[in-house]
Amino acid sequence: MYHKALFVLTLIFAPCMASAGTSKIEVVCSFSILEDWCHQILKDKGLIHSLVPIKGELHEYQLSAQDVVRLKRSQVVVGFSPDSEAWLHDWAKSSPNHRVLWLGVNEDGTRLPSHGWTDPLLVMSMVTRLCAELNKTDPNLNVSHVQMLKEAQSVDSELKALFSTLPAERRKLVTQHPSLNPFAARYGIKIVGTLLESSSGEAADTSARHFSRLLKSIRADGVRVIVTDEGHNQEMAKRLASDAGIPSPIALNFESLPSAQGSSWKSMMVLQGRMLHEALMLR
């Protein structure tokens, strides 16, 4: 009789126990790179959503009604910086019961460089904070970022070895906007100038005076490579390359993950890094 009663109780409570054991933390990220980090850390323990779609404009994004519902329902909201995601910062200010984990802002309030995710060493510090926040939010998760640290170290080692082969005269480039500064600083590349001073790839056109200064710098420094942002308007960069008598700009994407299944921050960094190295080496 005892065993029969126990069996019946097991049947009744088993669904509840299974549900409790498989509950997942809900996380909303501002864009795909942060989403990938959360997937790498949480694996099957999280329901993760990225707000900005693949190849969407991070800086100028506007929240939809569905986005707001997801944000209010989430347990953790992850962004890079109030400077780059002002729209998310505005939402946080109007939602006092929610806060954003800004991975590009240190605990003392100091900011990491814009596009800090292009420097693997900065990534290591950011994923460490991310993992700690996830475990703090739900201690039952007990997730680890060790594999992410190994991946960041692997990326850094590969790119350091790759760019160490570049002669000094081939370590110079011009970018469309200040997106590669952390990457360049890490791997010994000199950014001679940028077409657009804003962090947005769709900022106002370059002034004639600034264009003239860039053209002069390109000729004086022997720059052979202009890097644009994939998917953004390249007409000004093409004109600058033409006037300077150098090859057409190369379009790279360090802004978001490609839509291909299985893409990751690691694969993005290695692929884009190799493409940049090839352009600097061969042009």
Length, in residues, of the chain:
283
29 and 141 part of one domain:
yes
Who has greater pLDDT, 15 or 128?
128
- Say how many domains are in the chain: 2
| 173 located within any domain | yes
For the chain, what percent of residues have pLDDT higher than 70?
Answer: 88
Q: What is the pLDDT of residue 55?
A: 77
1-10, 40-49, 94-103, 257-266: range with lowest mean pLDDT: 1-10
Q: Which residue has the tokens 């939010």?
A: 137
Contact 257, 242 (CB under 8 A): no
Q: 143 with 190, same domain? A: no
Residues 28 and 106 in one domain: yes
Give the per-residue pLDDT at 20: 39
pLDDT tens per residue, range 226-246: 999 988 889 999 999 999 999
DSSP string, 154-218: HHHHHHHHHHTTS-GGG-EEEESSS-SHHHHHHHT-EEEEES-SSSSTT-PPPPHHHHHHHHHHH
Residue 34 belongs to domain with CATH number: 3.40.50.1980
Q: Is residue 135 domain-shared with residue 182, that is, in the same domain?
A: no
Does the residue 6 lie in any domain? Answer: no
Is the Cα torsion angle 102, 107, 108, 111 positive or negative in sign? negative
**Which residues have C-beta within 8 Å of that of residue 64, sequence separation ≥ 6?**
none
pLDDT tens profile 63-104? 999 999 999 999 999 999 999 999 999 999 999 889 999 999
Q: Which of the listed residues 128, 155, 182 is the one where a domain comes to its end?
A: 155
Containing domain of residue 79, as a range? 22-155
pLDDT band, residue 199 (cuts 50/70/90): low
Final residue before a domain boundary, out of 155, 182, 214: 155
Kindly state whether residues 141 and 86 are assigned to the same domain: yes
176 with 68, same domain?
A: no
| pLDDT single digits (tens) 8-20 | 333 333 333 333 3
Residue 54's pLDDT band, with cuts at 50, 70 and 90, is confident
Q: How confident is the model at residue 261 (pLDDT cuts 50, 70, 90)?
A: low
- Of the candidates 155, 188, 218, which is a domain's last residue? 155
Q: 248 — phi, psi (to 5°)?
A: -60, 155
Same domain? For 149 and 169 the reply is no
What's the CA gap between 165 and 277, in Å, rounded?
9
Q: Are residues 230 and 276 in the same domain?
A: yes
- For residues 83-107, one letter each, b for 16 or more C-beta atoms within 10 angstroms of the residue's C-beta and e for the rest, the string is ebbebbbebbeeeeeeebbbbbbee
